[in-house]
Amino acid sequence: MRELTYWQAISEATVQCMAEDPAVFVAGEGVDDDKGIYGTTRAAFEQFGPTRVIDVPNSENATAGIAVGAAAMGRRPLIVHSRADFLLLAMDALVNLAAKWRYMYGDQGGVPVVTRAVVGRGWGQGATHSQSPQSVFGHFPGLHVAMPASPADAKGLLVQALRAQTPTLLLENRGLYRMTGEVPREAVAVPFGRGRIARSGTDVTVVAASLMVHEAERAADLLAEQGISVEIVDVRSIRPLDEELICSSVARTGRLVVADTSWARYGLAAEVAAVVAENVFDALRRPVRRVTPPDCPAPVSHPLEEAFHPTADRIAAACLEMVEGGPSHVRKLADVTAGFVGPY
């Protein structure tokens, strides 16, 4: 199977779905420019032009409102935001309208708005440009929220979203865009709510999404040198969440570490811990550990920022402590995104 970068996989899915369904259109700030949101919308604009790949004014709430209206009239909008932080400006349209539409109108149709938003870390982005809002949107019934970790899933989850009737948010980490992986040529959908075992192991389960899957892989490589076998569960989507896969893994290993790019309190890590406690508590040999950013906004200072974001080192230390039963130290690893050089 051929390989594509993460951004190429998204671009291909967009073009294929637009060719498959004339109702699909793309809208967002800068979707028609040369950079094309990290390259992801450029091919669509070149093929379908400005009537289906539409640049919009700087108003996230207005764009989301237009998308809900278009979806209610039978169109399939794909909205793209280069900064997930500003999705908070679109909360009313996405949460009060799109997510509740089918419930409010007796399941008579839906508003299949698909929103892509870029989340990330590093390069001094600061408190208002470095947030991962997955847990905010994952809280609300009626929305699907996914965080693809691989090029194949970036394509497959987008295809699934553009064919479904549920309003969907796809969160893409900036650090993944240049990563490569095998991707099918066909527009093969990846179902929401079905995670995958990214790596099999026996000693400890690490549950992660998006960039944290890759950090967990690096931690697992390091721990393998010390004879510790790590199983990694890539949840793919956080709503719906593959609770069965998570619980079956923890039942085998007896230990759980959850790694997330967002804060621990009221977040994905807390939800996974609660699911495990409710379903397989007796299988746990040690208390659940969460590896997340500290409970404060992201700093601009690069050294402080490096300490803020969760990394393979912290995941490895949590796993080692859980297996060995005491404080542990592991050698420092380079950050997964250390080689990233713009565009921002």
Query: Annotated catalytic, 129?
Result: yes
Q: Phi then psi for 304, rounded to 5 degrees?
A: -70, -35
Helix H segments across the chain?
6-20, 42-48, 60-72, 91, 101-104, 134-138, 151-163, 211-224, 243-253, 268-280, 302-308, 312-324
Quote the CA–CA distance of 166 and 302 in Å, as a whole number: 39
> Mapped to the 3 state alphabet, what secondary structure does 76-138 carry?
EEEEEECCHHHHHHHHHHHHHHHCCHHHHCCCCCCCCCEEEEEECCCCCCCCCCCCCCHHHHH
Which are the contacts of 104, defined by CB distance < 8 A and separation ≥ 6? Answer: none
Q: How far is CA 56 from the centre of its chain?
A: 24
Active-site position among 81, 129, 214, 309: 129
Residue type, 202: T
Whether residue 310 has a cis bond before it, omega within 30° of 0: no
Catalytic residues: 129
